[in-house]
Amino acid sequence: MSHPVPVFSIVIPTYNRPDRLASLLQSLTQLSYPRDRFEVIVVDDGSSPPIAPVAETFESTLNLTLLRQDNSGPARARNTGAAHARGQYLVFTDDDCQPYPDWLTALETTLHQQPTALVGGYTVNALPENLFSTASQLLIDYLYDYYNSRQAPSFFASNNFAMATEQFRQSGGFDTSFPLAAGEDREFCDRWLQLGLPLAYAPAARVRHTHHLSLRRFWRQHFNYGRGAYCFHQVRARRADEQVKVEPLRFYWQLLTYPLSRQPQIQAMVLSGLLFLSQVANVAGFFWERSQQKTTAASTPAAPC
């Protein structure tokens, strides 16, 4: 017997985080959306050991497909999942997220209103006691306020966005030249806009983000964001034949003062310091990646991004 075509295909790239994946899949069993109207596609990006034992425990409660590929990064993993999707819409989230029960309902409402849009939801920090996790979420909140408070939004993170499957495939999917989980979602949103398609914000489509960070992990995360930013600049310059504009100084001043109106005073000052550190790490990663790319270009015909 053939299964009915689902409305949504939820695509989840995962790598070496079986406990986080189990929490995510458990949260999907709690969705208020009809179970026969969505499928779940987990793409194991070369985990060691494979995460099959975790995924298989949910096969009786979710319409779940498990795929496995050699470790190639989340951009390729998302494309692999999307290639196997049967749903009318694709939804992307990460293995360290847990959607709220009405997640798909909120996304569907906005997609019906704007069927050609890339729809982005809202991410909630699930670790408010962790200052490093809080600072990273504040940065995302600031970017959403800065880029998406205008009439035409321009950026959503790939741990919580959705679009029509056919349009995703026509767009070419995620750029697999991005080596890390950094910058590929920014490039995808930018390319979506260049194709003349809109972005739409659906703040009611919420996921909890459980990203445990220490000082070292915080630095590495934002260093990698800097690396991804350099790749984004290179890819966009080739695609659009123009340089990405550098944000004005007020962008950075507003970023550093952003916590002051949202956190208790002492904690806000610490978070402002961490946001400053994130930008130092970002710049360091940007110039490190540029140096690596120049070294690669000198010895090979083409750079990797």
d(CA 93, CA 103): 11
pLDDT at site 1: 41
Residue 38: other Cβ atoms inside 10 A: 21
Residues 45 and 14: beta-carbon distance below 8 Å? yes
Q: DSSP labels for 123-192?
A: EEES-TT-HHHHHHHHHHHHHHHHHHSSSS-----TTEEEEEHHHHHHHT-S-TT--SSSSHHHHHHHHH
Q: DSSP labels for the chain?
A: -PPPPPSEEEEEEE-S-HHHHHHHHHHHTT-SS-GGGEEEEEEE-S-SS-SHHHHHTTTTTS-EEEEE--S--HHHHHHHHHHT--SSEEEEE-TTEEE-TTHHHHHHHHHHHSTTSEEEEEEEES-TT-HHHHHHHHHHHHHHHHHHSSSS-----TTEEEEEHHHHHHHT-S-TT--SSSSHHHHHHHHHHHTT--EEEEEEEEEEE-----HHHHHHHHHHHHHHHHHHHHHHHHHHSSPPPPPPHHHHHHHHHGGGGTS-HHHHHHHHHHHHHHHHHHHHHHHHHHHHHHHHHHHSSS---
For helices 131-148 and 265-299, the axis angle rounded to 10 degrees is 80
pLDDT in tens, the chain (305 residues): 456 789 999 999 999 999 999 999 999 999 999 999 999 999 999 999 989 999 999 999 999 999 999 999 999 999 999 999 999 999 999 999 999 999 999 999 999 999 999 999 999 999 999 999 999 999 999 999 988 866 689 899 999 999 999 999 999 999 998 877 788 999 999 999 999 999 999 999 999 999 999 999 999 999 999 999 998 988 888 877 766 677 888 999 999 999 988 777 889 999 999 999 999 999 999 999 999 888 776 766 555 56
Residue 84: other Cβ atoms inside 10 A: 13
pLDDT at site 301: 56
Residues 237-272 pLDDT 10s: 887 776 667 788 899 999 999 998 877 788 999 999
- All domains of the chain, ordered by start, with CATH? 8-213 (3.90.550.10)
pLDDT at site 183: 85
pLDDT at site 150: 65
- Residue whose pair of structure tokens reads 């703040």 in the numeric block: 203
pLDDT at site 59: 92
pLDDT at site 225: 94
pLDDT at site 7: 97
